[in-house]
Amino acid sequence: MTFYAFMPKTTLKITLLEMSGKALELIYAACRQCYSEKSASDIFLSCADKPETVVAFIKKVVSSGHESPLEHVKFTFAVEGVSRALTHQLVRHRLASYSQQSQRYVRENDFDYIIPPSIEANKQTRDEFEKVMREIQKSYSKLLEIMSAEEGVRGESANQDVRFVLPQAAETKIVVTMNCRELLHFFKHRCCARAQWEIRALANEMLSICKEKLPAVFTGAGAKCEDLGYCPEGEKFCCGKFPLKEKILGAQ
């Protein structure tokens, strides 16, 4: 009798692997180079003598919308406990680098999964969802068993075809690198209440880390309404946190 291992639901976990060293100095030197006869290297070295000036200058740069110098600083995150449904959305942010766990090379013999809160909240839908996950796991493992027994079928070849039965709920792991400018753009769209719940949770966790590590850049970051002071989504999609754009303009 074949035993099919099965792992339960999993949860989001984000680890900051690395960020640019001397991030404030990098941004300051890059921005100042645009207007200075001095070399960026000299400007960079001078930052040690005026840390408060550097922070104040960068806050002013960010608030003014002059964001190109922010591209010189980047963050790299290890993300796990997320679904394939999430990463399909995530990789649409193209000014970033991704390295994702491959279902072709990594067998999903005991795949974890993510349950949407709306399904988990109801026992009937949760039970049905978990039953589907168990059945998929059994079918996946059975298909691998059959194909691996076939002469001439290598493990990689079996994996790449059997993975077609795996659900979007299957947990995946991914390394994400974004520069500060792209992170600000990412947060504007994915911290919004309209964003899908899972990627919104990811964005909020990443934002929390960025605020802690580089507050001069990220203290005011978040959904686009935070910066605009109004909701640009229209009445149908507005969450109510900020007034609609039309009401703000009408009051002027």
Q: Are 78 and 14 in contact (CB under 8 A)?
A: yes
Sheet strands (E) in 20-150? 74-83, 97-100
Walk across the sheet containing 74-83 and list its strands: 13-19, 74-83, 171-179, 97-100
Euclidean distance between CA atoms 245 and 32, whole angstroms: 35
The first and second tokens of residue 112, run together, are: 């974890």
The string over 175-198, giving b where at least 16 C-beta atoms fall within 10 Å of a residue's C-beta and e elsewhere, is bbbbbbbbbbbbbbbbbbeebeeb
Q: Please, are residues 167 and 138 in contact by the beta-carbon 8 Å criterion?
A: no
Q: Which of 32, 84, 163, 190 is catalytic?
A: 190
**Cross-strand partners of 87:** none
Active site residue 104: no
Burial of residue 225 (number of CB atoms within 10 Å: 0-12, 13-18, 19+) = buried
Q: Bridge-partner residues for 42, per DSSP?
A: none
Distance of CA 189 to the CA centre of its chain: 11
Supply the residues annotated as catalytic: 190
